[in-house]
A and B are shown apart, each in its own frame.
Chain A
């Protein structure tokens, strides 16, 4: 860890990641980052009611159904993690 890190929030990366799940680190791979992005997106859709209403109209679904779907998708947003090539 660098000397400069001692002074900012990143000094405790573990703690940071425990607190904010979506934060990343240098060893994050494409899949993990994408999962975070997807979950954040779904959470955002659900959190903004107008967005949810917009999607409902576009998909011709009820708002509740949309919300349920998004919530379900948050479970495994990108499918199963790919096999690790190395190690």
Chain B
């Protein structure tokens, strides 16, 4: 017994560990690995313009729309996304569905902070009536916003004062509270897992102190520009508890009781108070906080249970602390008590429960059943054994009475199947756990008849939405149609009250959002002016789409807002968005500005101008001015050159912003001007006249960010100017630019470089000026090693330097940097090389004198040899570009270069060898120009010796180099001789690596084409066999090269043997292989004349095997396609074969034969083969009733071919018999043929129409045609 104890102890220990892990999973955590601290610099800061509107109709209609130009590959391409979409509908798809929230960064996540606002008053619908007091009017909203701002101001004042006091108090105290600032206010997503444990000391201050302890960047001065990357930390602190939010459940509340959210309510009803603090919950709640919870009166929170609300909404968050609240490790059950359960928690709970079920202790009965009766003895448990009774387990074992009302932990049922989700009633699609919150009502199986009509309607809407969201594609389609058709019947209110909260769901996936947005779009069309009260609500959920990183989401967002503005009208849109323009949250202002720009593009800029003007001149708040000007910027970005007609007025509206008292307003004004100038380029300079002076004056008085923005604006305006002015203004700005060359600010550097590029590329700026005034400083400040380290700096610097070189010439630039090719920093050398490559490729090397040439080659050789890592092949490309630009001048250096290459071909590193080989293929042409054939021959031999290379990438490059040499020096002069080279290539054809295959087949094909006679026929046959395998290659280029090579080989050694090989290959199973074989046969026939191939081919048709016969037919089809007119000599020969094929039982026979007939007919049109063609048409015609798509297609095309070859009249005569057939099915087919006939040759039919007799009052006859002179 005693020996057992340590073991038990160990097991218990392990269990405990497991439990801890499990417990740590209970808290809601933020996985930084997964979500990452996204770099704000990586944002797309603006919506791209001028791209096509995306068709929202879905794939089907797109296929239909483009039918006229339908091609097979496109259909295959379209098929794929469609397939995956269907997969998403089901549960067990392999692709992990993507939740939107997972890829969002903190800034974008702020969308969840927004509250779907209550309906608003619709002044148009109400007419002159005074709005009811219960309705929120524009005035109410504005007042609320004002109040919010005031609260904000006051709070800021309080915070400031507190801070001052604190600082005064702290003056003496040592930095005791140092840990405090580390604990930032985080929203619950940010709560890191490890914070959850014991870090309660961090929560030293009360909630009130927290914002103070993080001075950081308060949100009042926050306009995060895309450039501000670094402040990820303080940005978390930006949000204080006033905007703390609302779990989805709460949204529904505020929705249901508009009164509760108005700030006018009692302080007890203030939002933050009621918000369940999930973050806090994960940690053991500190004393003080708990006391606050206790004090709160039972009526706290706005969460008044509403009739008809979702059960989740009705659940009052932790009014009285019950049950497990005080437990050390909160279990999911405990979490439930605190507030509405979030989907994440729900998932955790489900998961945990599942594990519990599987790992539950086995009962004695179960054990009895498992083990055999004899041979075992039941021992008494050791005296020291204590059953595990951890609180977490215990809690789970007994379901808490207060468990969520959404989902009861079921009674223990041994026979239950745990993996199968609960079936939703009435054929509804599967409900994900997070859906219960919204769709839970559907699960109560009430009698529908007992519900009131309103409730029934709600239920219907819910059902349809669930089908749209989770259903299979057909379900989705019908549900969507029903929603659209009945939109007006359902009413705007009930619809949007259901749809919009769904869109705010935290766990929404891309596909779901797309579908829901589509629902809104369709419903909007139908509801039209009824949406007015809901405009703001809709905007709240749609605006975030405008800054989504997914392009299609942005387009969708724009489309919805554009439709919305068309439905609701400008006045309503303005009324809905005006309060948000000076919202305290920068996020809201930003999205609102973007939404406004969409409204402007939908309803026209002129309509919006007066409003914009007023906003931009707002005296009340700088935020309003800022947003107004930002709207102008967004308009410019969104509609591009379409701003031109309104350019003048737009500039006038914002110009005063350049002198605004607020720095942010000045910055955004300059940025907007930049956007306008960019959009208007190259026109519209006259509109900017009024801002030139303030801009140029501004750059002398401003510093930092504002200066950067001003410079940016100038950079975009200068290219619009006339040469004379451009030169003048460039000189003016250059002083500042040159001063800023030294700026340590990265953002400033980039802007300066960009502006220099723009100025330099402008016409009026003289080369001399650039050379004397700009170049020295430019090179001194920018051509430093540090610039090469940052990717964006690097790119911008190379671009700017290339632009300068375009003005001042190659020699100046290359002369200045050529020495740096020998710099010790490799990234820097690479930057130099890239610049030289681009400059030389643009401008050639004629400017380069002999001294510079020497330096250049020397430097390049050095840089090439010294490179250690180069994935982008910069050095290689640079080398190639320079050598090709120098041309014959490179001759003296070739021995040296070849020496380097040879040495490097022998290098240990594969990458080096590969580059050496690649370099040969780039300079082969120049070597030929320099008459260095001997050297090339030598290189050829060296490469030949390296054909045993192991690394496929390198081998591919070596083959490529050999190919390049063979190409330039020809087959006869090649060393090693072709007869030695080719046998060495044969085994390499077996290599499965794509690069090797491609280069090898190219080389072999080249030899077969030009120098087949150097190799014995036997070797070619051997190659033929190898080639068969290459027909399986994935890359199309390889297959095409292979098929062509068959042609060359057949030409070289005669078709018989090659053909025999190919015909044998028709028997293989693989379809692609057979298809390629048929193509090869056709090519052989084309190159060696059809008569050499046709007898054997037709003979092969006698093999009673489907694949072979179809292969023959397909070959015939390709053959006649390739030989065209030549077909007239063979048509009579193959007609009996085609007759047979067209009467075959097998569909594919008929299909392939029909396509052969088509090609034949098209080839011999007008060559007098009508008799044979009519004969074949008689065999084709009975197939018109086929329904299989490929067959009917082939048949219809054959008939089209006949129309061309025989004339429309003949085919019309075939047609007439069925146009008025009593059976509709028959008529339909005949009219289809008639229609294509008509479209193809309408005019030709006039003479062939049947003679119709007149009837009573109707004249059907055409007497003109009987006229005779």
Question: Taking the complex as formed, is B200 at the interface, i.e. its CB lies under 8 A from any CB of chain A?
Answer: no
> Interface-forming stretch among B63-71, B418-426, B861-869?
B63-71
Determine if B1192 is an interface residue (Cβ-Cβ < 8 Å).
Answer: yes
Bound form: Cα–Cα A67–B596 in Å: 58
Please name 5 pairs of A and B residues whose Cβ atoms are closer than 8 Å in the assembled complex, sorted by A.
A23-B1235, A54-B1269, A55-B1264, A58-B1269, A80-B1257
- B552: Cβ under 8 A from any A Cβ: no
Q: Is A62's beta carbon under 8 Å from chain B?
A: no
| Contact call A3/B1238, Cβ cutoff below 8 A | no
- Assess the B1228–A82 pair: CB atoms within 8 A: no
A 26-63 to B, binary, CB cutoff 8 A, 1 in contact else 0: 10101101100110110011010000001101110000
Going nearest first, the 5 A-B pairs with the smallest beta carbon separation are: A26-B1227, A4-B1192, A44-B1246, A4-B1189, A23-B1235
What's the A-B contact tally at a CB cutoff of 8 Å?
108
Is A72 interfacial (CB-CB < 8 Å)?
no
Instruction: Tell me whether B1231 and A28 are in contact (CB under 8 A).
Output: yes
Give the chain B neighbours of A75 by CB distance below 8 A: none
Q: How far is the CB of A32 from chain B (nearest CB, A)?
A: 11
Contact yes or no, A82 B1255, CB < 8 A? yes
Q: How far is it, in angstroms, between the C-alpha of A54 and the C-alpha of B1255 when the chains are bound?
A: 28
Nearest opposing residue in chain B for A41, CB measure: B1246
| Chain B residue contacts of A64, Cβ below 8 A | none
Q: Which residues B1166-1213 have CB closer than 8 A to chain A?
A: 1186-1189, 1191-1193, 1196
Is B1256 an interface residue, CB under 8 A from the partner?
yes
| Partner pick for A24 among B67, B1193, B1234, B1259, CB 8 A cutoff | B1234
Known: A9-B1239, A57-B1269. A79 touches B1231 (CB 8 A): no
CA distance A54 to B63 in the complex (A): 48
Shortest CB–CB separation between residue B110 and chain A, in angstroms? 46
- Please name the residue on chain A nearest to B1257 by beta carbon: A79
Determine if B973 is an interface residue (Cβ-Cβ < 8 Å).
no
A9, A55, A80 interface centre (most CB from chain B within 10 Å) = A9
* Chain B residues, Cβ within 8 Å of A58: 1267-1269
CB distance B1242 to A12 under 8 Å?
no
Q: Tell whether, in the assembled complex, residue B1259 and residue A54 are in contact, meaning their CB atoms are under 8 Å apart.
A: no
Q: Determine which of A5, A8, A20 lies in contact with B1238 in the assembled complex, contact meaning CB atoms within 8 Å.
A: A20
Contact check, A54 vs B1267: say whether CB atoms are below 8 A apart. yes
Q: Which single residue of chain B is at the shortest CB-CB distance from A70?
A: B1264
Q: Which residues in chain B, 1210-1254, are within 8 Å of chain A measured between CB atoms?
A: 1219-1220, 1224, 1227-1228, 1231-1232, 1234-1236, 1238-1239, 1242-1243, 1245-1246, 1249, 1252
Q: Give CA–CA (A80, B1255) in the complex, Å.
A: 11
For A16, what are the chain B residues with a Cβ–Cβ distance below 8 Å? Answer: 1235
| Inter-chain contacts of B1224 with A (CB < 8 A) | 26
Chain B interface category by residue count: 35 or more
Which chain A residue shows the least CB distance to B68? A9
Told that A10-B1236, A37-B1262 touch, could you supply 17 new A-B pairs with CB distance under 8 A?
A4-B1192, A6-B63, A6-B67, A10-B1235, A23-B1235, A23-B1239, A24-B1235, A24-B1238, A25-B1231, A26-B1231, A28-B1231, A33-B1219, A34-B1252, A41-B1265, A77-B1259, A78-B1258, A82-B1257
Q: Mark B967-985, 1 if CB is under 8 A from A, else 0.
A: 0000000000000000000
Q: Tell me, in angstroms, the Cα distance from A82 to B1258 when the chains sit together.
A: 8
Residue of B nearest to A77 (CB): B1259
Bound state CA distance, A15 and B1040, in angstroms?
39
B1260 at the interface (CB under 8 A from A): yes
- For residue B1264, give the distance in angstroms from its CB to the closest CB of chain A: 6
Residues A44 and B1243 in contact, CB atoms below 8 Å apart:
yes
Supposing A24-B1231, A41-B1249 touch, asked if A7 and B1189 sit within 8 A by C-beta, the answer is yes
Given contact pairs A31-B1258, A82-B1255, A37 touches B1249 in the complex (Cβ within 8 A): yes
Q: Which residue of B lies closest to A28 (CB)?
A: B1231
Complexed CA–CA distance, A3 and B1186 (Å): 11
Closest to A57 in B: B1269
Tell me if A9 and B1193 are in contact (CB < 8 A). Answer: no
| Contacting residue for B1189 out of A3, A59, A80, CB 8 A | A3
Main secondary structure of the interface of A (DSSP, over half): helix
Query: Roughly how many angstroms separate A37 CA and B1268 CA in the complex, as a whole number?
Result: 21
Specify which chain B residues have a CB less than 8 angstroms from the CB of A59 in the assembled complex. Answer: 1267
Q: Which of B70, B1220, B1238, B1262 contacts A23 (CB 8 A)?
A: B1238
Q: How distant is the Cα of A33 from the Cα of B58 in the complex, in angstroms?
A: 37
Contact B1238 A22, beta carbon cutoff 8 Å:
yes
Q: Which residues of B contact A12 (CB under 8 A)?
A: 64, 67
The answer to whether residues A4 and B1187 also contact, given A11-B64, A34-B1258, A37-B1252 and a CB cut-off of 8 A, is: yes
Chain B residue at smallest Cβ distance from A33: B1219
Q: B1238 near A78 (CB under 8 angstroms)?
A: no
Bound CA span A44–B1224, Å: 31
Q: Are B67 and A9 in contact (CB under 8 A)?
A: yes
Chain B residue nearest to A23 in the complex (CB): B1235
In the assembled complex, which residues on chain B have CB atoms less than 8 Å from the CB atom of A57?
A: 1269
The minimal Cβ–Cβ distance linking B1217 to chain A, given in whole angstroms, is 15
- Smallest beta-carbon distance B600→chain A, Å: 34
Q: Given A78-B1258, A79-B1258, A82-B1258, are A4 and B1219 also a contact pair (CB < 8 Å)?
A: no
Chain B residue numbers with a CB within 8 Å of A3 are 1187-1189
Q: Which residue of B lies closest to A3 (CB)?
A: B1189
Once the chains bind, are A40 and B1232 in contact (CB under 8 Å)?
Answer: no
A8, B1193: Cβ atoms closer than 8 Å: yes
User: A2 and B1246: CB pair below 8 A?
Assistant: no
Q: How distant is A27 from chain B, measured CB to nearest CB, in Å? A: 8
Q: When the two chains form their complex, are residues A41 and B1252 in contact, meaning their CB atoms are under 8 A apart?
A: no
In angstroms, how far is the closest chain B Cβ from the Cβ of A59? 7
Instruction: Tell me the minimal C-beta distance from B1251 to chain A in angstroms.
Output: 10
Cα(A40)–Cα(B1196), bound, Å:
24
Chain A residues with CB under 8 A of B1265: 41
Once the chains are docked, how many angstroms separate the CA of A45 from the CA of B913?
75
On whether the beta carbons of B1239 and A11 are closer than 8 Å, the reply is: no
- Interface positions of B from 49 to 83, Cβ below 8 Å from A: 63-64, 67-68, 70
Residues of A within 8 Å of B1267, CB to CB, are 54-55, 58-59
Contacts of A44 in B (CB 8 A): 1243, 1246
What's the minimum C-beta distance from B177 to chain A, rounded to whole angstroms? 72
Closest to A48 in B: B1243
**B1260: chain A residues within 8 A (beta carbon):** 30, 34, 38, 78
Interface residues of B in 124-165 (CB under 8 A from A): none
Give every chain A residue within 8 A of B1243 (Cβ-Cβ). 40, 44, 47
Q: Is the CB of A4 within 8 A of B1259?
A: no
State whether A6 and B1189 are in contact (beta carbons under 8 Å apart), knowing that A40-B1246, A47-B1243, A78-B1259 are contacts in the complex: yes
Residues of B within 8 A of A40 (CB): 1242-1243, 1245-1246
Residues of A within 8 A of B1236 (CB): 8-10
B234 CB, min distance to chain A CBs, angstroms: 58
Q: How far is the CA of A54 from the CA of B1238 in the complex (A)?
A: 25
- Smallest CB gap from B1247: residue in A: A44
| A residues in contact with B1219, CB < 8 Å | 24, 33
Q: Measured between alpha carbons, how far is A57 from B1268 in the docked complex, in Å?
A: 10
Max chain A C-beta neighbours (<10 A), residue from B1232, B1249, B1255:
B1232
Q: How many whole Å from B413's CB to the nearest CB in chain A? A: 48
Cα of A44 to Cα of B1242 in the assembled complex, Å: 9
CB distance from A17 to the nearest CB of B (A): 9
Question: How far, in whole Å, are A82 and B1260 apart by their CA atoms in the complex?
Answer: 12
A5 CA to B64 CA in the complex, in Å?
Answer: 11
User: What residue in chain A is nearest B1233 (Cβ atoms)?
Assistant: A10
The answer for the CA separation of A59 and B1260 in the assembled complex, in Å, is 20
**Residues on the A chain within 8 Å of B1196, using CB:** 8
**Cβ-closest chain A residue relative to B1221:** A26
With CB as the reference atom, state the residue of chain A lying closest to B60.
A6
Give which listed residue, A2, A4, A38, contacts B1262 with CB less than 8 A.
A38
- Residues of A contacting B1258 in the complex (Cβ-Cβ under 8 angstroms): 31, 34, 78-80, 82
Shortest C-beta distance, A22 to chain B (Å), equals 6
Q: Least Cβ distance of A26 to chain B in Å? A: 4
Interface residues of A in 71-87 (CB under 8 A from B): 77-80, 82
B1232 touches A10 (CB 8 A): yes
Closest Cβ of chain A: how far from B517's Cβ, in Å?
A: 27
